[in-house]
Amino acid sequence: MIIAERKPLEEIAAMAAPHKKVCVLGCNTCVGICMAGGDKEAQETAALLRIHRKKENVEGEVETFSIERQCEFEFIDEVLEKLKKYDLIVSLACGVGVQTMIEHVQSLRVVPGLNTTSMGYPTEQGVWAERCLGCGDCVLHLTMGICPITRCAKSILNGPCGGSAEGKCELGEDTDCAWHLIHDRLSSFGRLGDLTEIQPPKDWSSSHHGGPRTTVREDVRIDSGE
């Protein structure tokens, strides 16, 4: 899932300071699950922002509510008239949600209340580990489900660099060497011979390096008659 964390309160307050009627808008899906931007976090952020503005003698109102997803037009449309009454919307969605709202309704003034950090999964309560960069050309079938693009600090595709030692990356003891993990997993399945197959240079044109990407489901287009 998409993982994010709240921006420092001072940064949010600075963005909101010139505006009289502010809404802190929560998003109850991805960032709600990672406890960064759901309804509870929106309520907390709004309360903290009210306190900060009071201390700084900043006039105005700070209200809050949440919608299911800020990255889909239909959920935005359900509350559009309500949103239009605010001078500023502090979005507690990921960066996609912020941009979706702006592109859908150009008249809305929307700023991010979160920093979008990664895509990953929870390893324990309150801890999420990055596992995917969305490169657009998945190689997990070659590496037994361990992504070298994300988990190797250098995104190496053909074995470890010279900086790993005893299964750890040169970044530090808290970071596993991705290729050590891949080696062990291949070994457990009796497939170490796969490591002798040299992979060609990666085609990065499908990643963000090729510019903004658009995904088109042809079956959906056909079913809809387009």
Structure tokens, 1: 């899932």
Who contacts 21 (Cβ-Cβ below 8 Å, separation ≥6)? 60, 61, 63, 85, 86, 87, 88
Least-confidence region, from 47-51, 55-59, 211-215:
211-215
Domain boundary among 90, 118, 146: 118
Distances in Å between the alpha carbon of 160 and those of 52, 156, 166, 199? 49, 7, 12, 13
On whether both 101 and 17 belong to a single domain, the answer is yes
The residue among 118, 149, 170 that closes a domain is: 118
pLDDT digits (tens, 9 = 90+) for 59-78: 999 999 999 999 999 999 99
The dihedrals phi and psi of 90, each to the nearest 5 degrees, come to -90, 105
User: Are 104 and 191 in the same domain?
Assistant: no
How far is residue 70's CA from residue 38's CA, in Å, rounded to a whole number? 11
Mean pLDDT, rounded, for 90-97 = 96
Give the whole-angstrom CA distance, residue 70 versus residue 93.
7
Residue 170 lies in domain: 133-201
Question: pLDDT value at position 221?
Answer: 54
Q: How far apart are CA 31 and CA 67, in angstroms?
A: 12
Count of domains in the chain?
2
Q: Which of 81-85, 192-196, 199-203 has the highest mean pLDDT?
A: 81-85
Same domain, 144 and 96: no
CATH number assigned to the domain comprising residue 39: 3.40.50.2300
Pairing of strands 110-112, 61-67: unpaired
